[in-house]
Amino acid sequence: MKTNHAMRIAVLLIGALWGPGAALGTSAGPLYEGDLETQLAHARGVARWVDEPLSEADFGTGSQRFDGEWLFGTYVMGAIGHGQVALEHPEYRAEAGRRMERAIDAALTREVRAFDRAAWGTDPVDDIGTRRAHVAYLGYLDLALALHRQVDPESKFIELEESITRHLAGLLERSATGLVETYPGEVYPVDNAAFIGALGVHDAVTGEDHRTLIRRFRAELRGRYISAETGLLYQSVARRGGRPVDAARGSGTALATYFLAYADPELSEQLWSAMRRELYRQGLGFGAMREYAPGPGGRGDIDSGPVVLGLGVSATGFAIGAARAHGDRDAYRSLYATAALFGAPTDAGGRMSFALGGPIGDAIMFAMLTAPRAVARVRS
């Protein structure tokens, strides 16, 4: 993220602590309730990033890997968002299937796969069936593919989705730590959670049963990768032995909470409760999530986005999806109010975009705002 861009977000986030959030939060009501036209405005905003060719040059992180991740993430999260709207509104299925297909086709190009190929030295698609996991690419892609199968039973990606699912499920079953690598020597529980979410959708579509593997994943997270002090998910762990090498943090916990709602509502609810208790802050209609639990804390990075007064941009955005998944209307509205303030949403001809988010911001917000309420419950 370019420095001046990060500073703008930081300044606006600070302003959110004191500005009136009620009006902005009210605009979240139709999204929370699943109003189709409101969701389609966001769908059209994201679709333009697929229709207008993107490249790594459209992202200014200063890192070729992160530019590539954000390019890939734009396509995958956009596809996921379209799928979620279609599952909530069956009349959108045909159009969603076409839009998802275009986004997935873009994600599958060798140009987009380049960030992962550079890290591993081998291509993620070519490595399906080997001992190399590539979960940074294959785990997220598999969720989009599984959702496309759910939207379109004749999906052209069925063979690819099944091969990725077998590949990652087999590696997880054989893993001594219960996790697989994102990149060589790098292990992030949240990336593994993306695949577990895909596995839940896969089983729902095919009738297969991976509950034993999903339960094992839950046990591994509870026993080794969730902080006993805070209940939050460790951001990264060592490849050998699974020792935490980064703190338990809001950005990873929030995104994992969203993914796990697809496969393990019980574990997802546990993480959401911990976030609510340890990280959620609300005032004057605005809500935000801390990146670190109260205490010594830490600095922001590419995963967290700017961290201002302890509040994290990524944790706050990802938590919107977790809030909808768990039927937490109040948190959804207040978190959206903050996102709307510093993201500056604009509606141009029925096409909603977040002016300060760019392609990846639009795609992530689309996916989070339309997260399925599969485990919804009304919070008193």
How far apart (Å, rounded) are the C-alpha atoms in residues 32 and 323? 10
Distance of CA 131 to the CA centre of its chain: 25
Q: Please, are residues 106 and 75 in contact by the beta-carbon 8 Å criterion?
A: yes
How far apart (Å, rounded) are the C-alpha atoms in residues 223 and 237? 13
Q: Please, are residues 231 and 293 in contact by the beta-carbon 8 Å criterion?
A: no
pLDDT of residue 25: 55
pLDDT of residue 304: 79
Question: Could you tell me which residues come within 8 angstroms of residue 286 by beta carbon, excluding any fewer than 6 positions away?
Answer: 16, 17, 19, 21, 24, 25, 334, 337, 338, 341
Residue 144 lies in a domain: yes
Residue 200 lies in a domain: yes
pLDDT of residue 18: 44
- Torsion-angle region of 231 (φ positive above 0: left; ψ -120 to 50: alpha; else: beta): left
Indicate the number of domains in the chain. 1
pLDDT of residue 13: 52
Q: What is the pTM of this model?
A: 0.91
Summarize pLDDT for 78-98 with one digit per residue, the tens: 999 999 999 999 999 999 999
Residue 376 lies in a domain: no
Summarize pLDDT for 6-48 with one digit per residue, the tens: 445 554 554 544 444 445 556 788 999 999 999 999 999 999 9
How far apart (Å, rounded) are the C-alpha atoms in residues 373 and 18? 30
pLDDT of residue 348: 81
- Torsion-angle region of 30 (φ positive above 0: left; ψ -120 to 50: alpha; else: beta): alpha
pLDDT of residue 347: 82
Summarize pLDDT for 127-155 with one digit per residue, the tens: 999 999 999 999 999 999 999 999 999 99
- Average pLDDT, rounded, for the chain: 90
Residue 379 lies in a domain: no
pLDDT of residue 60: 77
Q: State which residues form the domain around 242.
A: 3-369
DSSP summary character for residue 373? -
Q: Please, are residues 323 and 23 in contact by the beta-carbon 8 Å criterion?
A: no
- Tokens representing residue 82 in the block: 């379209």
**Number of residues in the chain:** 380
How far apart (Å, rounded) are the C-alpha atoms in residues 281 and 289? 6
pLDDT of residue 7: 44
Residue 378 lies in a domain: no
Residue 243 lies in a domain: yes
The segments of the chain whose pLDDT lies below 50 read 1-4, 6-7, 11, 14, 16-22, 375-380
- Tokens representing residue 196 in the block: 């577990």
Which CATH number does the domain housing residue 230 bear?
A: 1.50.10
Distance of CA 23 to the CA centre of its chain: 26
